[in-house]
Structure 1
Amino acid sequence: MLLTVDIGNTQTAMGLFEGEELVAHWVFTTRAQDTADEVRLSLIGQFKLNDIDISSCDDVVIASVVPALTECWASVARSITGREPIIVGPGIKTGLAMRYDNPAEIGADRVADAIAAIKLEGAPVVVVDLGTTTNIEVIDEKGRFMGGIIAPGMGTGADAMFTHAARLPQVDIVEPAHAIGTNTIDAMRSGIIFGEVARIDGLVRAIFDELGYEAPVIATGGFSGMITELSQTITRREPRLTLHGLRLVYEKNR
């Protein structure tokens, strides 16, 4: 089976594939200071929780935006499979045409999202990935990665208010009942959640204006469930889009 690993700044997502079928998936907190031994213990624990023999994993593909953890995970992958893992980055075949100024700058997760989105919807297509940052990826009608938008994510924005505004409390990201908050916590939640929806819808419409046509919009990432329900432009939610994209990258490189 194939293990796909998406190492993000806040969370690490893993998916175990048997062929094209995602048979198990896990998410845990990313800790940049982890050693290879700690990563291995976490991975073994996840397999045991799902009653899966870790020796059934015979290959690994990794996307990482945390350089300090990339080699840790690669070392663990080698110890489990006896093979070099595929690490998404320069030199890896993706089949994705680029119109980006410097393709080497594009995060591996953004590449995986784009590849999976094209597989699901064809081109053109737009991806909204809601995580530590809110990333919007744009693929034109010829299937080319045109670029996109990177903005602070909802959790990042909430943490910034708590950190930099002395009288504002830390709040859970929960949808408020009304846009007009009648207390500080609900007012903050309204700004965080309804503000994010308005930002995404406004940016997607601006993208459509620049393209000269509309396209399907796929949401993914930790906050995608809440935002998809409220958005007027998102047409589909695929919470594990990146993992499926990593599987597709693997198929092009083995």
Structure 2
Amino acid sequence: MVLAVDIGNTNIVLALFKGKRFISELRIPTNPHKGIYVYKNKVLNFVKSNNKSETPQAIIVSSVVPGALASTKKMLAANFDTVPLILGESIKAPIKNEYRKPGQVGQDRLVNAFAVLCFYRKPAIILDFGTAVTIDVLSKEGSYLGGVIVPGVELSIENLTRRAALLPYINLRKPKDILGQSTVESMLSGIFYGYAALCDGIIDRLKRRLKIKPIVIATGGHSKLLSSYCKNIDAIDPHLTLKGLNLIYLTISKKS
């Protein structure tokens, strides 16, 4: 069994796989300095309840939070009889990276591109609705070309309510109509229809810029909630990053 760990800015998501089969996931808030150390017992119970041998065959980690990664590595190494494989350190995503400065690309974006390369067709555009919304392009040759980064939904809501004194913080839920008739309704309409228009507009521009007819895959925490408002999305894969991490391990282990 393989334990995949995706350390994001908002959440750390752990998932167990048996071969290519997804077994279960655990989602915990990201502590930027202590990683999963503060949730040690919760993590150990999660692994034990889904894996009778208690120790995974392999652990593979992707992170965009350096402080959380350092403490997470220590916790995993101290509690499991296997050395965690760290994407971008001990291993690399097996995909051609055409970013001008390849080291600047977030590991999660490369993992997503590799997962789409293996599970879907190319060319492709990948939307990841996380702390930031990333819109990335996989070429028809199977290379990662680059993409677009915009502030995420929760980040936009937090900054809007912090900077605008009369606007309340809102819990994300689908608006009843595009025409809001209260402050909360208007804000919800702006978030849902605004992000849909943003994503569709960028996708259309990328299609014209690159002269491609791609498949469009959505993933990330808000993908299910927002994707129905976007006309360009072909499929939703909420576990894309975790599946990509597992697939990277399976690919590398076959070659070794």
TM-score of the two chains, using structure 2 as the length reference: 0.93
Quote the residue 1:197 is aligned against.
196
Contact 2:111 2:244 (8 Å CA) reproduced: yes
CA drift at 1:37: 4.1
Change (3 A) 1:91 1:100: farther
Q: Which runs of 5+ in 2 are unaligned?
A: none
Distance 2:118 2:87 in 1: 18
Deviations 1:4-46 (A, max 9, x none): 0001000111110111111111212112232664242231243
Residue type matched to 2:64 in 1?
A: V
Change (3 A) 1:144 1:19: same
Q: Which shifted more, 176-185 or 52-61?
A: 52-61
Residue type matched to 1:229 in 2?
A: S
Quote the residue 2:147 is aligned against.
148
Contact 1:15 1:243 (8 Å CA) reproduced: yes
Quote the residue 2:227 is aligned against.
228
CA drift at 1:228: 1.6
Quote the residue 1:20 is aligned against.
20
Identity over aligned pairs, percent: 29
Residue type matched to 1:40 in 2?
A: K
Distance 1:114 1:162 in 2: 34
Aligned length: 253
Deviations 1:113-164 (A, max 9, x none): 0000111212111100001100011011111111000000111100111111
Q: Does 1:75 align with 2:45?
A: no
Deviations 1:45-99 (A, max 9, x none): 4335x45447241210000111111122212222233222111115623221121
Distance 2:218 2:10 in 1: 18
Quote the residue 2:101 is aligned against.
102
Quote the residue 2:241 is aligned against.
242
- Secondary structure of 2:228's aligned partner: helix
Quote the residue 2:124 is aligned against.
125
Change (3 A) 1:94 1:35: closer
Q: Which runs of 5+ in 1 are unaligned?
A: none
Residue type matched to 2:42 in 1?
A: S
Distance 1:241 1:208 in 2: 22
The CA RMSD over aligned residues, in Å, is 1.6
Contact 1:58 1:81 (8 Å CA) reproduced: no
- Secondary structure of 1:114's aligned partner: helix
- Secondary structure of 1:148's aligned partner: strand
- Secondary structure of 1:111's aligned partner: helix
Q: Does 1:30 align with 2:37?
A: no
Change (3 A) 1:33 1:239: same
